Every structure is written in structure tokens, then in C-alpha cells.
Amino acid sequence: MGPPSFRKVRSAKSFTLKQAGWKLLEGHRLKIGQTVYKFAKSREMDGTVKTVTIKRDPLGDLYVYFSCVVEPQPITRVMTGHSAGFDFGLTTYLTGSDGTMHHAPQPLQSSLKAIAQANRHLSQKKKGSCNRRQAQRHLDRVHKRVANQRQAFHWQLAHQLCAAYDSLTLETLNLQGMKALWGRKVSDLGFATFVETLHAVASKTGTLIQHIDTWFPSTKLCSACGWINQQITLRDRVWTCGDCGTTHQRNVNAAVNIFREGASSPGGIHVSQASACRGC
Ligand SMILES: [Zn+2]
């Protein structure tokens, strides 16, 4: 046993102050103890502040979180009269049954290159060296930028959809299956996190979100006649129905099927209790 060691300041990740020990000052300033800190205010505060938490992320950036008590507000929603089904994809992030398309932002792709480059630089540095530590920090920084970009895209898209539609129907994601088919790119796009974000926004705006069964053959089914295309492969972006001869855009056809399946079982049959939510 060696001598007792002091707890490293670096190891502490966060601390929370309750009623005492802090004071909010004018002009985005916070007094903790005798020291006044300035912070960048990301959004207006509602209600009364109950606790203040300071967090530090692995990069050493500091964040201050104010948790507030807010009176519950009834959801006031202006109905748009629109509803749609959506199909997730790699080339087009989301395709709507009404033909709308939402693409993942381009910076995401370029940042992936930056990650690969930062990883390469890190691997070339000698272990335990100062340069290696610096390269590691740079890699963390790039990772964080990508995460921020993805998160911003998710929130923007979720708000856009919840404002435009009264109800949305999505597939229940089979992420393991998607990864087996498409590989690592699935994780880069963060479909599951997007669905979570969408539910969070929907609970505020009063938008209905339905999930249809994972095994519903949305891609194979002809939305015009109900024929099932057993031969369809991932490469087929466009296909023609062997029965009625309709030519389908793969994603739009799937989205139409998803929408119809959702509409045929409102709040019911194919929609499980846990996944159907009007505001979770
Ligand atoms: Zn057909």
C-alpha cells in the first residue's frame, strides 16, 4: 500500500448546487462562491431555477445546466390536416409517402473524412508522447463536432415534421438487421436517436407518432395492387410491379405502404401500446 493519494480534480465530471452557494446575476453571469463566471446562454429559462449543475465533458469544456420547475402547460396544437408515412434510407434519410425527401446534411459526410484523418494521425504518434495526447484531443474534438452536427439535424428535422403533420407513421427500426445490410453507416446516421428526438418533440407539439411492425414488408409490397416482389434487392432504387406494371420509386413506395398500414390501424391492431404515443 502506498501513501494515500489525493483525488484528482480532473476525475470529477460534475457537481450540483441546490438552493445555496450560487446566484444568478444580470448579463449571463453566475456567481459560485465568491467567483463570478460568464456563460453563453443557449435558451431562455422558464419557471423557477431549482438546481444548478456544472458538467465537464472529456474535452474539458464546461457546461452549466439549470433545472427549472415549470407549470404544466396544456398542448395547444393547430391541426394541419396532414399525415404521412416515412421510410428510412441511406441515400435519402427520410422519404415521405407524399413524396417529400429529407437528406442528411452534407457536413456529416465531410466530417467522417476528418475523423479518419485524425485517427490516422493518432496512430502515427509515439505512445505516451505529448504529441499523441494532442492528437487524441484533436480526435475527440472532431468526434464532438460530428455529434453536434447530427444532433442539430435531428432536432431541426423533428421540429419540421411535427409542425407539418398531425400524425406520422414510421417503421419500427430493426437496427441489427439494418447494420447487417448496410454496415457502419447506419450508426453514423443515428436513426434510433432521431426516433427518440422525434418522440420528445411530438410530446410537446401533440403530434401522433405510430410505429408499424418490423416485419411488415413495406419495401416488397406494390402499393398499387398488393403484389409482393420477392426478387427486390438493395440495389433496386426503381422497380416495376410484375402484376399491375406500375413503376415504383423504392422509398416512396415503401413510405406509402407504411402510411397506409398506419392509417388502417389507428392506435390499434399492428401498433403496440408502448410504441404508439400521443405525447408519450
Ligand atoms: Zn402492382
The pLDDT assigned to 9 comes to: 57
Shared domain for 37 and 164, answered yes or no, is no
- Stretch among 154-168, 200-214, 235-249, 253-267 having the lowest mean pLDDT: 253-267
pLDDT tens, 108-151?
Answer: 677 878 889 999 999 999 998 999 989 998 998 998 888 888 89
Q: Which three cell numbers stand for residue 115?
A: 475523423
* Distance from the alpha carbon of residue 272 to the mean position of ligand 1, in angstroms: 29
pLDDT tens, 167-197?
Answer: 999 988 777 777 777 776 667 678 889 999 9
Q: For the domain that residue 200 is a member of, what is the CATH number?
A: 3.30.420
Domain that includes residue 44, residue range: 13-69
The pLDDT assigned to 236 comes to: 87
Inter-residue contact 84 to 97 (CB < 8 Å): yes
Beta bridge partners of 211: 170
Shared domain for 157 and 247, answered yes or no, is yes
pLDDT tens, 62-116?
Answer: 899 999 998 887 878 888 899 999 998 888 899 999 999 998 876 667 787 888 9
Asked whether residue 56 is assigned to any structural domain, the reply reads yes
The pLDDT assigned to 11 comes to: 60
pTM: 0.77
Asked whether residue 107 is assigned to any structural domain, the reply reads yes
User: For the residues 10-32, what does the mean pLDDT come to?
Assistant: 84
Q: Is the pLDDT of residue 271 over 50?
A: no
Opening angle at CA 84, ends 198 and 101, nearest 5:
80
Shared domain for 31 and 92, answered yes or no, is no
Q: Is the pLDDT of residue 280 over 70?
A: no
Asked whether residue 237 is assigned to any structural domain, the reply reads yes
Shared domain for 155 and 255, answered yes or no, is yes
Opening angle at CA 213, ends 207 and 217, nearest 5:
120
The pLDDT assigned to 10 comes to: 59
Positive or negative CA dihedral for 270, 88, 156, 143? positive
The pLDDT assigned to 253 comes to: 94
Classify residue 11 by its DSSP letter: G
User: For the residues 228-256, what does the mean pLDDT come to?
Assistant: 91
* Distance from the alpha carbon of residue 13 to the mean position of ligand 1, in angstroms: 58
The pLDDT assigned to 8 comes to: 61
Q: For residue 5, how far is the Cα from the chain centroid?
A: 41
Closest-CA residue to 88 (of 214, 247, 264):
214
Q: Which three cell numbers stand for residue 245?
A: 406494371
What CA–CA distances, in Å, run from 115 to 59, 127, 248?
16, 20, 37
Classify residue 228 by its DSSP letter: B
User: For the residues 12-40, what does the mean pLDDT come to?
Assistant: 87
* Distance from the alpha carbon of residue 232 to the mean position of ligand 1, in angstroms: 13
User: For the residues 7-20, what does the mean pLDDT come to?
Assistant: 75
* Distance from the alpha carbon of residue 176 to the mean position of ligand 1, in angstroms: 30
* Distance from the alpha carbon of residue 257 to the mean position of ligand 1, in angstroms: 12
The pLDDT assigned to 111 comes to: 80
* Distance from the alpha carbon of residue 263 to the mean position of ligand 1, in angstroms: 20
Q: Is the pLDDT of residue 162 over 90?
A: yes
Classify residue 272 by its DSSP letter: -
More confident residue, 180 or 201: 201
- SS3 sequence, 234-260? CCCCEEECCCCCCEEEHHHHHHHHHHH
The pLDDT assigned to 192 comes to: 87
Asked whether residue 183 is assigned to any structural domain, the reply reads yes
Asked whether residue 102 is assigned to any structural domain, the reply reads yes
Asked whether residue 181 is assigned to any structural domain, the reply reads yes
* Distance from the alpha carbon of residue 244 to the mean position of ligand 1, in angstroms: 4
For the chain, the straight-line distance linking the first and the last C-alpha, in angstroms and rounded, comes to 53
Which residues, including other chains, have CB under 8 Å from residue 44's CB and lie 6 or more apart? none
The pLDDT assigned to 275 comes to: 40
The pLDDT assigned to 56 comes to: 86
* Distance from the alpha carbon of residue 241 to the mean position of ligand 1, in angstroms: 5
* Distance from the alpha carbon of residue 221 to the mean position of ligand 1, in angstroms: 8
Side-chain half-sphere CA neighbours of 214 within 13 A: 7
* 177, 183, 186, 189 alpha-carbon torsion, rounded to 10°: 180
Q: Which of 31, 46, 69 is the last residue of a domain?
A: 69
Q: Is the pLDDT of residue 270 over 70?
A: no
- Per the structure, the count of domains in the chain is 2
Which residues, including other chains, have CB under 8 Å from residue 250's CB and lie 6 or more apart? 219, 232, 236, 237, 238, 239
Shared domain for 147 and 37, answered yes or no, is no
Q: Is the pLDDT of residue 5 over 60?
A: yes
More confident residue, 74 or 274: 74
Shared domain for 216 and 266, answered yes or no, is yes
> Cα–Cα distance between 247 and 241 in angstroms, integer?
6
Express the helix, strand and coil content of the chain in percent, nearest 5 each.
35, 25, 40
Q: What proportion of the chain, given as a percentage, has pLDDT over 90?
A: 43
